[in-house]
Amino acid sequence: MPPDALLWVLLNFKLGKVPALVDMGAQFSCIRADVIEYLYLRGERCVLSTCALTCLLADGSKGQVSNVATLHVGLLDYSWNHEFKVLN
């Protein structure tokens, strides 16, 4: 777990727990492409689709997002399907 643990939670997946950063002010949730690949290859239920999104990154540059992944996640006693924008 990262040193500033107050910003992090452990999301539950079928294969186990994955640390995730909580940003309540974010417009949408993001996940790295390599994390999606890791989860998918280990049998995690994942629905992939396309999107066309341009976003402004923290350094002021623009990023293009073209994929979305819907995963079934759990946190504490709750679970739901959640959409993540896939970042390269």
Q: Domains of the chain (ranges plus CATH)? A: 5-87 (2.40.70.10)
What are the CA-CA distances from residue 23 to residues 6, 29, 37, 38, 50 (Å)?
11, 9, 23, 23, 23
Write the pLDDT tens digit of every residue in 16-51.
Answer: 888 888 777 778 899 999 999 999 999 999 999 999
Q: State the pTM of this model.
A: 0.79
What are the CA-CA distances from residue 7 to residues 3, 4, 23, 38, 43 (Å)?
10, 6, 8, 23, 28
Cα gap 37→41, rounded to integer Å: 6
Task: Dig out the tokens for 45 from the structure.
Answer: 């239920």
Write the pLDDT tens digit of every residue in 63-84.
Answer: 899 999 999 999 889 999 999 9
Write the pLDDT tens digit of every residue in 1-23.
Answer: 555 556 788 888 888 888 888 77
pLDDT at 4: 56
**pLDDT higher than 70, residue 62:** yes
